């Protein structure tokens, strides 16, 4: 069955937000989970998303407003949208607070870590850039660099974001899992990513029924780009022909940075399967679903116009 491109765009953004919201209650230790549960109760029972989705929506809004990737506009939107209750990491919070006080993003992004952060904060929002560059793949690398450097200047953070964005871009075009895997492999240039890519390639080609413990041991489940991006790609490709809930259940069993890994894999899965593949009961409870749908449709239109 042919999946319309608009359905793929909606599936990608809603899959990101739904993966984020469903994964958030399982992230971290007991205290973190309890804190998020209390916040969710106050939100009236909605499936509430974290900074992963907030930064992604800001990215989409910036692209739509500026018609391009504009780092200055991105940085302003990121800093204005910051709320501690969204679950921002401490490093990201410090960077955004500096930007809010007037410090330029080029200085702020290396203020906490001298070489820049290699966390997954850039990768979590990179599916939006992958969607925007859908019909212009030659622009993806430069677009990712411009987007990610606003908060994560380390080359490993940029490489991880490019990997996730490439997988999303390929999935939205209707590529097979083998084609997505092979294109992602071209983005893996550093040791941490190329080593993990070899493992992912072997598992997928052999149909390896990997246990969550093995995934954590070999690929990771942490907040760094190296320990989460390839895990997300693997989960999306492994479960591409399975129900969305099966993928989320596996991610929950992996533990660690569940919300971000689920958000990234959710975007790739949603781009590949379209919005109709997502669980409707959960979508009905998703925070600001209509806003996300509107942004996805506008982004789809813009990407088509940019190609024309």
Residue 149 in this model has a pLDDT that exceeds 70: yes
Q: What are the pLDDT digits (tens) for 65-98?
A: 999 999 999 999 999 999 988 989 899 999 999 9
Nearest to 69 by CA among 229, 293, 306, 308: 306
pLDDT at residue number 276: 97
Q: What are the pLDDT digits (tens) for 192-247?
A: 999 999 999 999 999 878 999 999 999 999 999 999 999 999 999 999 999 999 99
Domains of the chain: 5-307 (1.10.4080.10)
Residue 27 in this model has a pLDDT that exceeds 90: no
Per-chain mean pLDDT for the chain: 93
Q: How confident is the model at residue 25 (pLDDT cuts 50, 70, 90)?
A: confident
pLDDT at residue number 256: 94
d(CA 192, CA 139): 25
Share of the chain above pLDDT 70, in %: 93
DSSP notation for the chain? ----HHHHHHHHHHHHHHHHHHHGGGSSSHHHHHHHHHHHHHTTT-B---HHHHHHHHHHHHHHHHSS--HHHHHHHHHHH--GGG---HHHHHHHHHHHTT--HHHHTTTSSTT---BTTTGGGHHHHHHHTTT-GGGHHHHHHHHHTTT--SHHHHHHHHHHHHHHHHHHTT--HHHHHHHHHHH--SHHHHHHHHHHHHHHHHT----HHHHHHHT--SSBSTTTHHHHHHHHHHTTTS-HHHHHHHHHHH-SSHHHHHHHHHHHHHHHH-GGGS-HHHHHHBTTHHHHHHHHHHHHHHHHHHH-
Residue 35 in this model has a pLDDT that exceeds 70: no
Mean pLDDT for the stretch of residues 10-26: 95
Residue 28 in this model has a pLDDT that exceeds 80: no
pTM of the model: 0.95
pLDDT at residue number 68: 95
Q: How confident is the model at residue 304 (pLDDT cuts 50, 70, 90)?
A: confident
| CA neighbours closer than 13 Å in the CB half-sphere of residue 104 | 2
CA-CA distances (angstroms) from residue 127 to 20, 141, 147? 13, 13, 11
Residue 49 in this model has a pLDDT that exceeds 70: yes
Mean pLDDT for the stretch of residues 101-105: 96
Q: What are the pLDDT digits (tens) for 245-293?
A: 999 999 999 999 999 999 999 999 999 999 999 999 999 999 999 999 9
As beta bridge partners, residue 224 has 119
pLDDT at residue number 231: 98
Q: How confident is the model at residue 29 (pLDDT cuts 50, 70, 90)?
A: low
Mean pLDDT for the stretch of residues 116-128: 96
d(CA 145, CA 256): 26
Q: How confident is the model at residue 26 (pLDDT cuts 50, 70, 90)?
A: confident
Mean pLDDT for the stretch of residues 29-38: 60
Residue 306 in this model has a pLDDT that exceeds 60: yes
89 token code pair: 């990491």
């Amino acid at each position: 069955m042919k999946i319309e491109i608009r359905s793929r765009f909606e599936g990608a953004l809603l899959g990101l937000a739904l993966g984020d919201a469903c994964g958030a209650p399982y992230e971290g230790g007991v205290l973190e989970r309890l804190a998020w549960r209390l916040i969710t109760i106050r939100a009236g029972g909605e499936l509430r998303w974290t900074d992963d989705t907030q930064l992604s929506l800001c990215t989409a809004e910036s692209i739509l407003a500026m018609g391009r990737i504009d780092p200055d506009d991105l940085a302003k939107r990121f800093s204005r949208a910051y709320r501690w209750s969204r679950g921002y990491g401490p490093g990201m919070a410090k960077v955004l607070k500096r930007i809010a006080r007037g410090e330029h993003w080029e200085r702020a992004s290396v203020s906490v870590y001298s070489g820049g952060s290699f966390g997954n904060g850039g990768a979590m929002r990179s599916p939006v850039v992958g969607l925007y560059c859908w019909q212009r793949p030659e622009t993806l690398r430069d677009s990712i660099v411009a987007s990610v450097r606003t908060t994560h200047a380390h080359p490993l953070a940029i490489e991880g974001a490019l990997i996730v964005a490439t997988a999303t871009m390929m999935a939205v075009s209707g590529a097979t899992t083998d084609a997505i895997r092979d294109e992602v492999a071209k983005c893996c240039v550093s040791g941490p990513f190329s080593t993990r890519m070899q493992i992912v390639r072997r598992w997928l080609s052999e149909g390896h029924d990997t246990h969550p413990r093995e995934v954590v041991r070999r690929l990771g489940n942490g907040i760094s780009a190296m320990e989460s991006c390839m895990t997300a790609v693997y989960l999306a490709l492994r479960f591409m022909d399975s129900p969305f809930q099966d993928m989320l259940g596996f991610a929950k069993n992996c533990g660690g940075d569940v919300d971000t890994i689920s958000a990234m894999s959710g975007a790739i899965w949603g781009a590949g399967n379209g919005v109709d593949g997502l669980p409707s009961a959960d979508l009905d409870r998703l925070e600001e679903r209509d806003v996300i749908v509107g942004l996805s449709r506008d982004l789809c239109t813009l990407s088509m116009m940019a190609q024309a």
